[in-house]
Structures are given as C-alpha cells and as structure tokens.
Amino acid sequence: MERMKKYLLATVACAALWPACAADVELLEEIIAKINGDIITRTEIEKSRRQLRAELSQRGLKGEQLETEFKEREPGILASRIDQLLLQQKGRDLSINVDAEVSKQINEIMRQYKITDPEELAKLVREQTGQLFEDYKNEMKNSMITQRVIQQEVGSKINIPKSEKEAYYNEHKKDFEREERLFLRELLVSTEGKDAAGIAAAQKKATDLVARARKGEKFPDLVRDNSDAASAREDGFIGAFKRGDLKKELEDILWAQQRNFVTDPIKIENGFLILKIEERHKAGLAALEEVEGEISEKLYMTRFQPKIREYLTALRQDAFLEIKDGWVDSSAAPGKETKWTDPAQLKPETVTKEEVAANPRRKRLLWLVPIPGTKSAPKEDK
C-alpha cells in the first residue's frame, strides 16, 4: 500500500514538475486530498458516491426524490472521508488494536451463514458487496478502529448528572406513558429433517440451553451460538407484543411472568422454541428508574454529535491537510489553510524542474520527491 501511495504521488509530481514526463508516465489516479501521510483519490470519492446512491435506493427512494437527497448529501462525501482517515490515524497514534474483534466478527459471519471454508466466505463477500475479501476485512477493521477512537476520546467523557435526568423526566412525563407490552427474544432448536433420535437430541439440547440461560448465561450469546431461526442475526430479538398479539398458549405462559423469565422448551411444528422476556412495560406512567437508561441515551445523543464534530475539528487543526482546487471540505476547520501546494513551488530540499531536466535518471526516481510537509524522501527500494 505504501509503495502504491508513493507511485501515485510520483505520477502527480511528475506531471507538475516537468511536462515532458507526460510521455513516460501514464496518469493512473488523481489525488484529491492529502491528510498527514494518507491520500484520498478520485476513485475513492466515486466509490462513495455509488455507495450513497445504493443506500438511498435501498431506502426506497426513486427518481427526483432520490436525486434531491443525493444532491443534499453529496457535498459531505469528501468531509466524511477526511473524518474517517483522521480517526484511523488517531487510532494508530493510540495503538488501538482490533484484530481480535475483526476475527471474532468474521467467525460470527461464517457461523451465521454456516460456512467453514474461507474461500466460500470470500466468494460470499464478493457476491454481496462486490469487494475482495481483504478490502472488506480492512473496511471492517477501520470501522472498528474509528468506533473505538470515538468512544474512547469522545463518548467516555460525556456524563449525564442524575439531576438532569430527573428534570427531563419531570418535563416529559407524557412521553413515558406506557402501553402494556412484552419485549421478547427467541431461540429455536430445529427438528426439520430429523428422525426420532434427532428430535430427542434436539429436545435435550433445548432443555440444556434453558438451564444455562436460567443460571445466568447471556441469552443473546446462546442465541448466536445455537439458534436455527433467522432472528439469530438480531440476537433473537423479535419485537414488542401487546395482549392478543400472540397465540393463547403462549399468552397464558408469558403474561403471568416478569422481566428475564425464560420459558421451558415449547414444541412447535419445526422444532423446540425458547422465549425470553427481555423487558415488560406495565400500563401507565413508567417510574424514573424504569426509564432512566432511555433518558440517559436521549441526553447523551444530544451531546454526542456536537462533541464528535468538535473533536474532528481539532484533529483537522492539528493535521497536515491539503485539498485540490475545485474540491471542498464541508466540515473544514475555521481558519485552517488547506490550499493545494504545487510540488514545483516547494522548498529547496525537493527536486526542481532544472534538476530533473539535467538528470534523466530522475525520471525513474520521481517517487523520491518528499511528500509536502515532510523533510525527507522515502528510502529507495532495492
């Protein structure tokens, strides 16, 4: 990757330093922005544009509505990419390592799709995302790093005082009037295609899982590792239910119980079903203690986005950042100079047009031109 970056920089430097080089070098990529030691290319921006269109299309937007939304969000694409790189760089500065989390996530994907062969996984990734597996894995890694940086540097420093939560509760009591509802998770041990012995084994497995859940093992973990239902991808969560929403035999069991109750295995047509009451709302005004977490989340989010933007602005102020003419960082730091530097106008430690012309060998060594803002060139590969 570093060699590719050097080559891309060389291509641009050659075009700027000596027009005659154009005969020797084919322009493979256009660099849009330089952020410390990283670059953003036109190809990356175009990829982000395609992803934005796909996202809007998946939301059901079409025609003029899609185009309007796209035009509103398109100017933020470059800023978003700068944000990502700054956070990834900060992650490296903080020595954040997410390799274990990446491996765990990949193993989870393989488990969910019942894949054991890495080549099968690579094929699945290519079919569903259009990406090579390594690119997909790197995106996952970078996403985890940025999330960790945000949580460590921003989220962990936001505190909501108890008094503020109480005040919010008293001012918004109408928002906490509840209908009576059950919030459920499910775990299914399938019996499809099984003979009598297989069905007996499935029942024993379900019984053992109930015992483990009642002893305190986390139900979502049990679901991820054992459930045959599609809801396993959502940790078994199947939603909220009012009285009358469920079959009578299930209602008779569940409405008599409280939060965290786990049923015995329930025999259904295709297996043994285990249900857990994740939450239960009683009818009427919820007590502060019942909704304190919800209030904390609301108040937290009102602070979170402004704090993230404040943090990213500070990272921009401290960064070496140059943006090519014609492109705009919509989240630019006030007063920050980001004008693109012409390599031909750099300080004396870089090669000049005359030096290039006087020494033909420099045509092959143009990648040695220091990146603007640095004092030395990278070492030549042997």
What local confidence, expressed as pLDDT, does residue 136 receive? Answer: 94
Using CA atoms, how far apart are residues 10 and 29, in angstroms rounded to an integer?
Answer: 11
What local confidence, expressed as pLDDT, does residue 364 receive? Answer: 34
What local confidence, expressed as pLDDT, does residue 130 receive? Answer: 86
Q: Return left, alpha or beta for 335; rule: phi > 0 is left, psi -120 to 50 is alpha, else beta.
A: left
What local confidence, expressed as pLDDT, does residue 342 receive? Answer: 61
Tens digits of residue pLDDT in 187-222: 999 999 999 999 999 999 999 999 999 999 999 999
Question: Which of 129, 174, 137 has its CA nearest to residue 286?
Answer: 174
Query: Domain limits of the chain?
Result: 1-93+320-382, 95-153, 154-173+287-311, 180-282
Task: Count the Cβ atoms, other than its own, within 10 Å of residue 57.
Answer: 12
Question: Which of 186, 195, 247, 182 has its CA nearest to residue 219?
Answer: 186
Given a contact cutoff of 8 angstroms between Cβ atoms, the answer to whether 205 and 226 are in contact is yes
Query: Which residue stretches of the chain have pLDDT < 50?
Result: 1-23, 344-353, 355-357, 359-382
What local confidence, expressed as pLDDT, does residue 19 receive? Answer: 45
Distances, alpha carbon 218 to alpha carbons 72, 212, 221, in Å: 43, 9, 5
What local confidence, expressed as pLDDT, does residue 152 receive? Answer: 96
Look up the pTM and report it. 0.68
Tens digits of residue pLDDT in 100-112: 999 999 998 898 8
Fold that domain 180-282 belongs to in CATH: Chitinase A; domain 3 (3.10.50)
**311-346 b/e (C-beta count within 10 Å ≥ 16 → b):** bbeebbeebebbbbeeeebeeebeeeebebeebeeb
Crossing angle of helices 99-112/118-129, nearest 10°?
A: 90
What local confidence, expressed as pLDDT, does residue 347 receive? Answer: 43
Helix (H, G, I), strand (E, B) or coil at 246: coil
